[in-house]
Amino acid sequence: MISSILVFIVALSVLILVHELGHFLTARWMGIWVEEFGIGLPPRIFGKKIGSTIYSINLLPFGGFCRMHGEDSEDNTTNAEKSFLRKSKKARVLVTIAGVVMNLVLALVAFSIVYTFSGIPRPSGKVTILDVVASSPAQEVGLIAGDLVKKVEGKDIATSDEFVALLEEKKGTKVALEVERTEGDNVQTKKMKVVPRENPPENEGPLGVVVSSTEIYFPPIWQRPFYGVYYGSQDAFFWGKTIVGGLGTMLAGILKGNIPKDVSGPVGIFAITTEAYKVGFLSLLNFVGILSLNLAILNIVPFPALDGGRLFFIGIEAIFGRKVLPKVEASVNAVGMAVLVLLLLAITTYDIKRLIAAGSIDGFLQSFYK
């Protein structure tokens, strides 16, 4: 449990630090005075001033922060030339979106590393049985994991989709299968007949098998990073689209008065991080990539206190030709932050109740995915 907690803290800290590092580097590039760049959240344990910036280590071990001069108010501005609010709209937009961009880059790097070391999936041109469900028609006729399904009703098949489609057509009737089985150096062809179930148990399918028509390919070492970036980009796009779609569905439900039941906070993230950590480093890294995409997309939402909220105010300035009063923007952001904190507390309370009712992390995850 202690190692799981440490991994959880490190994972979240990396996500937030990378985000804040984006703000920090871009602010420096735009000539904005960064008063403090901190690891962890205050109170401060240690700080050292290098140049005009204080680099600090803070007590609460979650992420970090980048405090820019004149970020929220011009009242205490001592160096107007290096104040965030006095910079051009372009400079403020670049600084604001830099954190989101860094999280997108982190997700892409994470997915790319996973593919580089775990291999590249590609079509195998054959249907392999990966698992056989107990007491299923497949087990009754003697199918085992590792069998290659060559033909169904005399028809050659090369993909899982073809296999599933043929079984769906033949449910409730006898189907002739031809499979290839390898035992040591001996390769045998076996023919058998099986009746696919018309009403199989949930998630078992008519035959009761798990099949795949992909294989893991390991390119030459020098090519793997390039393959990793290519497939990592596809994963980033897939998860980004999934997250945006899920967020839209959740907001639509809220507007209709429905409380979303598949939303989780820190407790849920801790539970999934723990499970990913049990599987291995690459699984954990893949989950960090998904979290990083979540953080990027949520931060760009035009809600007060988020990066998207700041972009919204800059957009208003661009449309009307004048800035929203810093005090008004700061007040709106304060209200937005209060709403976010209350929402986080509500979600966390709900998660804790589910965790207690489930009695374990595994039980909690099962209830979460139902």
Per DSSP, the residues of 74-126 read STT-S-GGG-GGGS-HHHHHHHHHHHHHHHHHHHHHHHHHHHHHH-EEEEEEE
Contacts of 340 (CB under 8 A, 6+ apart): 303, 305, 306
Cβ burial of 296 (10 Å; 0-12, 13-18, 19+) is: buried
The CA-atom distances, in angstroms, between 167 and each of 131, 164, 175, 193 are 17, 5, 8, 12
Domains of the chain, earliest start first: 2-118+231-369 (no CATH), 122-217 (2.30.42.10)
pLDDT greater than 60 at residue 363: no
**Distance of alpha carbon 265 from alpha carbon 269, whole angstroms:** 6
**Distance of alpha carbon 312 from alpha carbon 48, whole angstroms:** 35
**Distance of alpha carbon 95 from alpha carbon 304, whole angstroms:** 17
**Distance of alpha carbon 2 from alpha carbon 310, whole angstroms:** 38
- Report the predicted TM-score, pTM, of the whole model to 2 decimal places: 0.79
Lowest mean pLDDT, pick from 49-53, 63-67, 363-367: 363-367
Lowest mean pLDDT, pick from 84-88, 171-175, 198-202: 198-202
Backbone angles phi, psi at 304, to 5 degrees: -55, 145
What is the DSSP-derived secondary structure letter of residue 203? T
Q: In the chain, what is the straight-line distance between the N-terminal and C-terminal CA atoms, in Å? A: 25
Helix axes 326-358, 266-279, angle to 10 degrees: 60
Give the per-residue pLDDT at 341.
79
Whether a cis peptide bond, with omega within 30° of 0, leads into 220 is no
Give the per-residue pLDDT at 358.
61
Give the per-residue pLDDT at 97.
95
Q: Above pLDDT 90, what percent of the chain?
A: 19
Q: What is the dihedral of CA 340, 342, 344, 347, to 10 degrees?
A: -130
pLDDT tens-digit readout, 73-121: 777 778 888 999 889 999 999 999 999 999 999 988 898 898 888 888 8
Residue with tokens 């001069």: 69
Cβ pair 326, 73 in contact under 8 A: yes
| Cross-strand partners of 175 | 194
pLDDT greater than 70 at residue 206: yes
Cβ pair 99, 19 in contact under 8 A: yes
- Give catalytic status of residue 81 as yes or no: no
Report for 235-244, 252-261, 308-317, 343-352: range of highest mean pLDDT: 308-317
Mean pLDDT of 196-209: 85
Q: How many residues does the chain have?
A: 370
Element spanning 369, H or E: helix 361-369
pLDDT greater than 80 at residue 320: yes
Catalytic residue chosen out of the listed positions 20, 36, 178, 329? 20
Cβ pair 181, 106 in contact under 8 A: no
Give the per-residue pLDDT at 72.
77
Lowest mean pLDDT, pick from 18-22, 256-260, 340-344: 256-260
What is the DSSP-derived secondary structure letter of residue 30? T
Query: How many CA atoms are closer than 13 Å to the CA of 256, on its beta-carbon side?
Result: 8
Give the chain's mean pLDDT.
Answer: 84
Lowest mean pLDDT, pick from 62-66, 266-270, 366-370: 366-370
pLDDT greater than 70 at residue 255: no
